[in-house]
Amino acid sequence: MNKCRLDRFVSNQTSLSRSEAIKEIKRGKVAVDNKTVKDPSFSIDTDTSFVTLSGEEIKYKKHIYLIMNKPSGVLTATRDKGVKTVIDLVPEKYRRKDLSPAGRLDKDTTGLLILTDDGAFVHNIISPKKMVPKVYEAELIKDINDEDVKAFFDGIVLSDGTTCLSATLKKAGDKKAKVKIYEGKYHQVKRMFAARGNKVLALKRVSIGLLKLPENLMPGDIKEVSFDDLLRKTINYKQK
């Protein structure tokens, strides 16, 4: 049995704060096993209790893992007063109070983004020590050459003197390229190309480890994924 206070359960499994959860319970909006419960301290079993909020079932999950096809013009942040964030795009059924993006994509960068309330997983995804590759497709103002490929492999030195880890650069068409990096410095890919006298016109992340952006996931759409599959394809992607 896994016992938990009702107010804590509602807060942990939704986007409601603890005080907001208490208010909803006292208002009679929460039912346990089809019976309205107005006592926030009521004890439930997270494994067996059937809990609803305003008639909608709240299913217990220790953590939630989502992937998004991030659209352009949306900020990779949990909240911002003036700009729409990726969290604003998450449907209510997936909302958690600690939900956050695992790493950043620039406001005008699109593509694969992981969101979760599992802080340890986020740390492992963004840590350069884990060497989880991120692949981007870039549209450029001019074509790349062999010297650019070598410079990326040797480790680009940014304008502020920062040296990037070795990266893979491949031509992907007329004024298009694919870049594989293992870290996530601020505006890194754009700054790497700028260091080579080139400019990024459009940038899209297409994979993290073995996790690829689903072709049928439209910009702004969200998909829930399992922890085991996500772990296998990202942090543990090298394991057979």
Active site residues: 106
Contact (CB, 8 A) for 76 and 104? yes
User: Backbone phi, then psi, for 84, in 5-degree steps?
Assistant: -65, 135
